[in-house]
Amino acid sequence: MLKKAERYYQTLKYLKKSQMKYLVKNRLERGKKAITEAQAPSFGNLSIWMPRLDEHSDYQRRFCLEEILEGKVTLLHESGTPGGKNWANPDKSHLWNFNLHYLEFLIPVAAAFRDTEDRAYYECFKSYCQKWIRDNQEGIGDGWHPYTISLRLTNLWICMDAFGEILREDEVFFRELNNSMYAQYLHLQKKLELHLLGNHYFENLKAVMLGALYFKEPGIYDEYKFKFQEEMGEQILPDGVHYERSLMYHKIILEDLMRTAKSVHAADRLLYQELLTVIQKMADAMYSLEDGMGHTPLFNDAGDNVARTMVSLLAALRDEFGITPNYQQAFQNAGYYTLRGNGLKLILDAGEIAPSYMAGHGHCDGLSFELSLHGHPVFVNAGTGQYQGQLRSYFRSTKAHNTVVIDGEEQSQCWGEHRVAERISEVSGSAEENTVKGRLTTCAGRHQARSIEWNDGVLEIWDQVDGYAQAYFHLTPEYRYLLDDRRVLIQNESQETIGEIQGMKTDKILIHRDGEICFYAPEFGKIEQTEVLEIAWDGDGTEHVIQMKFR
């Protein structure tokens, strides 16, 4: 009991006073129903559809149109049928239920209509919208969560822009849809996620601001524009990386800014110009960190099937705003540093776990790295896979990342689904042309340092720890390890050796081929099996080297 109380204290002490206030307020108002009916006083139009995003093949292949037309939806590798009271399906994961209420699966339906002008796609959109309105009249459940409202409103405006005249000519339904959206917009203003902040609060502000523009409420627009600008300054670090340090959420927030910029282009030129400046910095960060990696790098909560792909975002940035990215090696504020050359790309994480008051998406990935060769991921962190479930704690653990576990202790105390108590401190990093470095102190007070050098086809990883050290190297499933005396060979599916790893003479070498440690989640809802190399030694504070050569 005392340990539990201490853990709560160590978690809550990092929160802002305002968060504590709203946590109490939310507790007192729990169970209060939303007002689900309202009359929209007026409404306009938001130019928010982006062909290079919404019609891009990378995005379209996430959804099965045939299934959607038949009333079935597959999201995050889980399938179900929307319907019933509050659209609550107890047989599905909470994450699936939550994502269902975004109505994002209607965007590919709108894209199909734009491509074919087949009215069946419009009727499909209309049917799902009416079904959601009818089944969620009670005003409780996931559908009335402020985050799902924020994403659903945006996704509906995207679809409405795509359908255009066919929707506006359907006057009865158009009015019904607008009235429902207006009720959601009003409820959202009462339920801003001020207890949580982070990307959730950002989505709240964006949705209300766009709603004020759409429903022609200039007073609300001005109020929320100020809040939005303030939060943008808080959440986007000076180096352009989103402050939660998840490159998946970074892309989500970048898309938010792009949608917002397109929406306000004609109405608010000053905000538009401000947004373009921030969008450029975020584009630079996304491109610099992800280009050459072959996937969304898996630092903190991340996966490849939630945010739009880098390729589609770059295409939309160029077409919509004339923005092309610039490469940078170091992101000092976020703590990400890169190496590249001769087909190799490496990212080292030498940054804080997350903003202190919003660490829910943080992992124990300090001084971990990911490495790709010729655009193909080789060494990856284990990923995220799920927000609820028994594997959540593993995916956030230190050993699930390409870093060092010292004396079996975690770097930070990640617990529950989205909580962190004591965490790493004294974190710093730096980069030179061929070297990236980082230092940190774990929550247990252990000092850890890592330097990675890349020269003439040889990668050297220098670690300094005091205690029993276990360094982990997680492969993607396309590769396997083969022990050859003191060398560990890396082979592809054709059994061709692409590289080798060699530690020091006294190191203990273990290749894991099964068990929890071999789980890998490249996407949410997709768990694969891979191989993990463990190299262990007794650290005495002096430098220890592991050498890698690639062919």
157: left (phi over 0), alpha (psi -120 to 50) or beta: alpha
- Report DSSP letters for 485-530, one per residue: TTEEEEE-TT--EEEEEE--TT-EEEEE-SSGGGEEEEETTEEEE-
DSSP per-residue string spanning 302-321: --SSSSPPHHHHHHHHHHHH
Measured between alpha carbons, how far is 384 from 519 in angstroms, rounded to an integer?
A: 10
Q: 4 falls in which pLDDT band (50, 70, 90)?
A: confident
Q: Where are the domains of the chain?
A: 41-196, 331-550
- What's the Cα-to-Cα distance from 393 to each of 60, 311, 350, 470, 475, rounded to whole Å? 32, 31, 22, 19, 20
Q: How many CB atoms lie within 10 A of CB 365?
A: 27
Pairing status of strand 435-441 against strand 519-523: unpaired
Q: What is the mean pLDDT of the segment spanning 14-24?
A: 92
Mean pLDDT, the chain, as a whole number? 96
Q: CB-side exposure of 354: number of CA atoms within 13 Å?
A: 30
| pLDDT surpassing 70 at residue 366 | yes
Asked whether the predicted pLDDT for residue 274 surpasses 80, the reply is yes
In CATH terms, 331-550 corresponds, of 2.70.98.70, 2.40.30.10, 1.10.10.10, 3.30.43.10, to 2.70.98.70
The closest alpha carbon to 492, from 503, 513, 476, belongs to 476
pLDDT digit string (tens) for 200-257?
Answer: 999 999 999 999 999 999 999 999 999 999 999 999 999 999 999 999 999 999 999 9
Tokens of 136: 């969620």
pLDDT score of 259 more than 70: yes
Tens digit of each residue's pLDDT (9 = 90 or more) over 439-478: 999 999 999 999 999 988 899 999 999 999 999 999 999 9
pLDDT in tens, 386-418: 999 999 999 999 999 999 999 999 999 999 999
Does residue 2 carry a pLDDT above 80? no
Per-residue pLDDT at 456? 83
Report the pLDDT averaged over residues 71-86.
96
Encode 154-169: b = buried (16+ Cβ within 10 Å), e = exposed. bbbbbbbbbbeebbee
What are 377's strand-pairing partners?
372
- In the prediction, which pLDDT does 551 show? 86
What are the backbone angles phi and psi of residue 36, rounded to the nearest 5°?
Answer: -95, 0
The pLDDT value recorded for residue 494 is 96
* Arithmetic mean of pLDDT, 81-101: 95
- Kindly write down the DSSP assignment for every residue of 355-380, as one continuous string: -TT--TT--S-TT-EEEEETTEEEE-
Angle at 46 between CA 40 and CA 51, to 5 degrees: 140
pLDDT tens digits, residue range 472-506?
A: 999 999 999 999 988 999 999 999 999 999 999 99
Decide: pTM greater than 0.85.
Answer: yes
- Flag whether pLDDT at 1 surpasses 80: no
The pLDDT tens digits for 139-166 are 999 999 999 999 999 999 999 999 999 9
Candidate from 7-21, 296-310, 343-357 with smallest mean pLDDT: 7-21
pLDDT at 27 over 90: no
